[in-house]
Structure 1
Amino acid sequence: MLKVLMLPRDTDTRDLRQALWAHRIGHRFTEDEDGYTLWLADPAQFDELTHLLERWKRGDSLMPNGHAARAKLNDSSLLRPFALAPVTASLLAACMVVFALMWLLGDIVVAMLAIVPVAVSGGSLTLGTLADTFGSGQVWRVFSPALLHFGWMHLVFNLLWIWYFGRQIEELRGGKLILALSLVSAIAGNLAQYSTGTVLFGGMSGVVYALLGYVWLMSRQAPRSGFFVPQMLVVFMLGWMVFTMTDMAGLVGFGNVANEAHVGGLIVGLVWGWYDARRARRA
């Protein structure tokens, strides 16, 4: 990354940070005892960044056309991160709404969102097949299990990492990419889990590992892209995935984990990251 500017510690950089993301200028701020340092991910954007800095120093409006409404929303420091990453925030909101509905309505929500149609007949549970899912036109079921979470820890763990990785992808590459990556990885993970014979499962874990794989590969193969993930975090996440595949996980209460969904999502993220990293290097 290219070192561009150093600023005193007491400088208010909020408007500048907001404008950099709005203009899709890949960057990173670091902080030390001397103050803030601004780094530019792509040197090809240096002239655009310089022009933006001059406007910022003059106190001019920094937001591009079409961002006026978003700028008003961003006046609230609490809502600013959600306004800058609306697709990622929407994924979190959808998971929380479904979790609340599960608490209010019970198993009917699971039956509606499971990968195959579920019904109760004669006091027993009747499970359909994937062919029933497509034959009945309920195609949303190949994605919807990702919205199901079966406990607070499950929900919080997944949403934490969705926000950590998803916001970075959306701010650097846009909402369309995070939406497409989430949809494809959720479907791939769900189908991978279903292929093992499991029907009643859920969670965003497959998407989490897809986002992890994408960000990690982009940070390694296209360092000027602006992506970053601590290496120890990658080790922890991959170590956790391997741990849940072992018998030891069951002994400590983590036996019912959608491991195949994790692997399916990770593969999607790595392949997508490899492809985008190659394009970034060529550019």
Structure 2
Amino acid sequence: MNYEALRVPLDYDLRPLAMMLAGRGVPHQISELQGEQVVWVTDETTAQAVQSLHQRMASGEIELTVEPSEAPVRQPSRATTFLPVTLLLLVLSILGAALVTFSTEGMALLTYYQINAVEDGYVLSSAPDQYWRWFTPVFLHYGLMHLVFNGLWTWELGRRIEFKQGSMTLLIFTVVSGVFSNLAQVWYTPGQLFGGMSGVIYAYLGYIVVWQRFRPTPAFSLPKGIVVFMLAWLFICMAGFTEMLGLGSIANAAHLGGLIAGVVLALSGLAVQRLTGR
């Protein structure tokens, strides 16, 4: 359901409209978003038809009543809609954090570089044939705060993309942006271990902001404070303030690379939609 057909207050009874659409075999979904009810449909033509039907029902031209005793129509919201890819990313991030804490051998399978033990510690070496390593560092989280911070933003931003554009879109987007942000970090600081979803999260941010700029939708409507905070945090990290404060080094290239990847992928998606007339 990619098109917003109608938006009404929470106390507005949409059951007559929902029953009418169901009776006519019109695929639709009703969700609660930002304190309002939103009717979603599959395409722009259907959205226009729903708007026309609603106007005719509101004017009394078409009448359908619902008895109080009738069961209400279920209205799933974005918060309760099953979002398998977003949930999978959270679970894998938790498992990655557990590997960092409890299993060096397990962690070594997901790092970009191979970890080879030597007498005085370990050395890192490239693994050119193990392509999964280009992506899997996104699941490695070094510490509880790292995991919680990235988990919250994965849920807040990733679920918006999955809810609006589908699970497959989020999955492909996550893999592509994860690879791009990881390779950016490898290029900028070769020979160093790194990990976390931060690069992908900044890709989510760039993607959502660009889509919202050119194709506004309630699902991508972020409070300005969130965008300002995340961009300010990116600047603070790149300026080196986190290291000055003793918070450790940050994968700045992954953050910036992810942001760029998100913007580019959003512009590409918009261009494809324009070319195909969607």
1:200 to 193, 203, 227: 193
Match of 1:121 in 2: 118
Match of 1:45 in 2: 46
Match of 1:71 in 2: none
Match of 1:248 in 2: 241
CA apart distance, 1:233: 1.1
Larger Rg: 2
1:230 aligns with 2:230: no
Which amino acid is 1:199 matched to? Q
After superposition, the Cα gap between the structure-2 partners of 1:202 and 1:50, relative to the gap in structure 1 and judged at 3 Å, is same
Distance 1:193 1:187 in 2: 10
What stretches of structure 1 of length at least 5 have no aligned partner? 17-22, 64-73
* Percentage of pairs with the same residue: 33
CA apart distance, 1:98: 1.9
2:265 to 262, 272, 275: 272
Q: Deviations over 1:52-97 (max 9, x none)?
A: 9999x6979989xxxxxxxxxx9xx9xx957521011001001111
Match of 1:68 in 2: none
After superposition, the Cα gap between the structure-2 partners of 1:82 and 1:234, relative to the gap in structure 1 and judged at 3 Å, is same
Q: Give the alignment's Cα RMSD to 1 decimal.
A: 3.6
SS in 2 for 1:256: coil
- Greater share of helix residues, 1 or 2? 1
Which amino acid is 1:85 matched to? L
After superposition, the Cα gap between the structure-2 partners of 1:48 and 1:101, relative to the gap in structure 1 and judged at 3 Å, is farther
Contact 1:85 1:175 in 2 (8 A): yes
TM-score, length-normalised on structure 2?
0.76
CA apart distance, 1:161: 0.8
Distance 2:201 2:99 in 1: 22
Point out the more displaced range, 229-238 or 95-104. 95-104
Match of 1:66 in 2: none
Contact 1:24 1:171 in 2 (8 A): no
After superposition, the Cα gap between the structure-2 partners of 1:24 and 1:230, relative to the gap in structure 1 and judged at 3 Å, is farther
Match of 1:89 in 2: 87
After superposition, the Cα gap between the structure-2 partners of 1:28 and 1:274, relative to the gap in structure 1 and judged at 3 Å, is farther
Contact 1:26 1:225 in 2 (8 A): no
Which amino acid is 2:91 matched to? A
Contact 2:28 2:40 in 1 (8 A): no
Distance 1:181 1:46 in 2: 27
What stretches of structure 2 of length at least 5 have no aligned partner? 19-26, 58-63
